[in-house]
Structure 1
Amino acid sequence: MSGVTLTNAIKKYGDVQVIHDIDLQIDHGEFCVFVGPSGCGKSTLLRMIAGLEETTSGEIRIGERDVTRVDASERGVAMVFQTYALYPHMTVEENMGFGLKMNGHPKAAIKEKVSEASRILKLDDYLARKPKALSGGQRQRVAIGRAIVRGPEVFLFDEPLSNLDAELRVDMRVEIARLHKEIGATMIYVTHDQVEAMTLADKIVVLRAGVIEQVGSPMQLYNDPDNKFVAGFIGSPAMNFLEGTVEDRKVRVPSLADRVVSTDVALPEDGSKVVVGIRPQHLTIAPGNGGATLDLRERLGGVSYDYLIAGNGEKLIVENREEDTLPEGSAVIVSFDDKHCMFFDAETEQRLR
């Protein structure tokens, strides 16, 4: 079994602590995605697992082995980086097998492993080519193939698609998901793109400032976020947030013409400030003086996104699948079902339940 376990993992650079007491269990065969904004520590955490960054304190286990102080080459992991790092003078076949060659593996064994990786990644037609004759997506597949031939216990991906254009990113997401299904290995994947996280992961780890905010399946995080940060980070477009005030066990939203929202959650005392969260697909608009203005409409074919400015300057995004009827600049009434609202403490940003 080749799961990964982190216990009280800490990373410091001098007096600066960048990873704070991480406890995390990644089960054998899981596809786990580390996601968060730039600087949140996700790549540092991945490099700690790989052995490319020294763990200041705590423990990292791969399977049953404590690898906290084990050299990177002995950990049984293979890493795919953002840059392809292919040898330009070598063919695809030579690039994929080079690591095994340097470790003294027999030629027949290298050829067999390269052939199997090539089959999985559909690279058979490109084995004799050199990297300059490949597209970006093909080069990334070669880099993944180089990892596959090593037969690692754990695959580590550090933002492998960030250098690709939008269409190739979609294609490669599908390729990586298919690869995981075929080989069934434990995979840990770093990205700042929550769409990649949602579409690839069995388990998502949301990080902020070196701390885990929440761990769960994509839909668990989407439907049941623990705090405002996770609610706003998971989902595209992001969740809308509006200021509210507790009054008589209900929440008044001043920016939407004093709309009153009913809820069964445990609200703080009257007069307390809370944040009301609601996703774009749960909002609708109609003409009328409802405290908001249609500022901009973004048309994407079968769906449009309406960008609104509420009465106090708060911004809203509305997912609209109706025909365009309202011109930009129109005053609108914003409607929603109270049951779709989430509530967060205005100070701690923790979910009110």
Structure 2
Amino acid sequence: MTGVTLNNAIKRYGDVQVIHGVDLQVEDGEFCVFVGPSGCGKSTLLRMIAGLEETSDGQIHIGSRDVTKMDPSERGVAMVFQTYALYPHMTVEENMGFGLKMNGVPKAEIQQKVKGASDILKLDEYLERKPKALSGGQRQRVAIGRAIVRGPEVFLFDEPLSNLDAELRVEMRVEIARLHKDIGATMVYVTHDQVEAMTLADKIVVLRAGRIEQVGAPLELYRNPDNKFVAGFIGSPAMNFLDGVVSDGGVDVPALGRSVALDADLPAVGTKITLGVRPEHIEVHINKGDLNADLSEALGGVSYLHLVARTGERIIAEERGDERAVAGDTVDISFEPRRAMVFAHDSGLRIR
């Protein structure tokens, strides 16, 4: 197996540039996940690696080879799409081996490779079935098996779980993680679901408007985001952001009606900032303060309390334990200063 390197990769459609000079190193055997909102360029970037989109400028290397101008078939990659793209008239075994058959690989070798992939994905009992007799998760496993039998240097996944229901998505997410552990291949995976990114990735690449905002391990991005965009995108529910003004004693936060002390090197007194705090770092005090509980989402072991401040700003707080606020309660909140983050009001850059 081998890694992937992008050097100043650019993509233009006519006069419109959608990927802006991306530099990235995906190490050999690494599971790298591209995340970002719709239209950020994550699928376009993946398709550029695959060769399905022409690279307008810059270089793409797979291992030591410059594949920028190579056809997809020459790049040594296999791609798994959101749609399964299985041949309905072929059995599972035939679907998995079809690419090798078209390349003239001997029948015995095809059977051996299909059997190996089937063992990994636990598809042995389905080999004689046709796609219509399979569930969505089973069809996606067949699509992944088809990629495995090709023996690619790099696996590329383009939102492969988007068409599955919630239960199957969790199941397939675990299977893909296990697959990576078993075969140790380099994998690049696109998703809009940051939960998938956090649970699967060795490295996450957060994209916005065709540019990389930050690259890092999942917990590194969660604990130490460089800017407000990354802080808000990584974590579920999203980080709360409140307007504040630097004061002598810390930061005045109108939504809370008081000043809070923070563990950060703050700018000059009077400077507007944005205060960020995650729902799981908030403690709720029932029947105190003047934050109105608008809604409580009770999920069993945890509840998410939606609060409305006097300023109209909204706050989500995570609650556990037996005593929890309900809609209509008036509450106050607190958090440890070390848990809060400070961002520049205009640029959104982190103030540390």
State the TM-score bracket (shorter-chain normalisation). Answer: over 0.9
Instruction: Report 1:304-315 matches (<5 A).
Output: 304-315=303-314
Q: 1:325 to 1:163 in 2, by over 3 A?
A: closer
Task: Report the AA paired with residue 271 of structure 1.
Answer: G
Higher mean Cα deviation, 319-328 or 189-198?
A: 319-328
Deviation at 1:256, TM superposition (A): 0.4
Match status 1:255 vs 2:294? no
Q: What TM-score comes out, normalization by structure 2 length?
A: 0.98
Task: Report the AA paired with residue 122 of structure 1.
Answer: K
Partner of 2:341: 342
* Structure 1 stretches lacking a partner, 5+ long: none
For residues 206 and 193 of structure 1, the distance between their equivalents in structure 2, rounded to whole angstroms, comes to: 12
SS, match of residue 256 in structure 1: coil
Partner of 1:278: 277
Q: How many residues in Structure 1 have an aligned counterpart in Structure 2?
A: 352
Partner of 2:41: 41
Partner of 1:172: 172
SS, match of residue 255 in structure 2: helix
TM superposition outliers: structure 1 runs of 4+ over 4 Å: none
SS, match of residue 109 in structure 2: helix
For residues 222 and 291 of structure 1, the distance between their equivalents in structure 2, rounded to whole angstroms, comes to: 30
Instruction: Report 1:263-302 matches (<5 A).
Output: 263-302=262-301
SS, match of residue 177 in structure 1: helix
Q: 1:300 to 1:325 in 2, by over 3 A?
A: closer
For residues 155-194 of structure 1, give each alpha carbon's deviation from its aligned partner in whole angstroms, at most 9, with x where no partner exists.
0000000000000000000000000001000000000000
SS, match of residue 117 in structure 1: helix
For residues 89-145 of structure 1, give each alpha carbon's deviation from its aligned partner in whole angstroms, at most 9, with x where no partner exists.
000000000000000000000000000000000000000000000000000000000
Over the residues paired in the alignment, what is the CA RMSD in angstroms?
1.0
Match status 1:82 vs 2:82? yes
For residues 174-229 of structure 1, give each alpha carbon's deviation from its aligned partner in whole angstroms, at most 9, with x where no partner exists.
00000000100000000000000000000000000000000000000000000000
Partner of 1:124: 124
Question: Percent identity among equivalent residues?
Answer: 71
Deviation at 1:327, TM superposition (A): 3.7
Deviation at 1:322, TM superposition (A): 2.3
For residues 213-261 of structure 1, give each alpha carbon's deviation from its aligned partner in whole angstroms, at most 9, with x where no partner exists.
0000000000000000000100111111111101126111111012x22
Partner of 2:104: 104
Deviation at 1:324, TM superposition (A): 4.2
The answer to whether the 8 Å contact 1:306/1:320 transfers is: yes
SS, match of residue 195 in structure 1: helix
For residues 236 and 260 of structure 2, the distance between their equivalents in structure 1, rounded to whole angstroms, comes to: 24
Q: What TM-score comes out, normalization by structure 1 length?
A: 0.98
For residues 210 and 159 of structure 2, the distance between their equivalents in structure 1, rounded to whole angstroms, comes to: 17
The answer to whether the 8 Å contact 2:3/2:26 transfers is: yes
Instruction: Report 1:1-353 matches (<5 A).
Output: 2-248=2-248, 250-258=250-258, 260-353=259-352
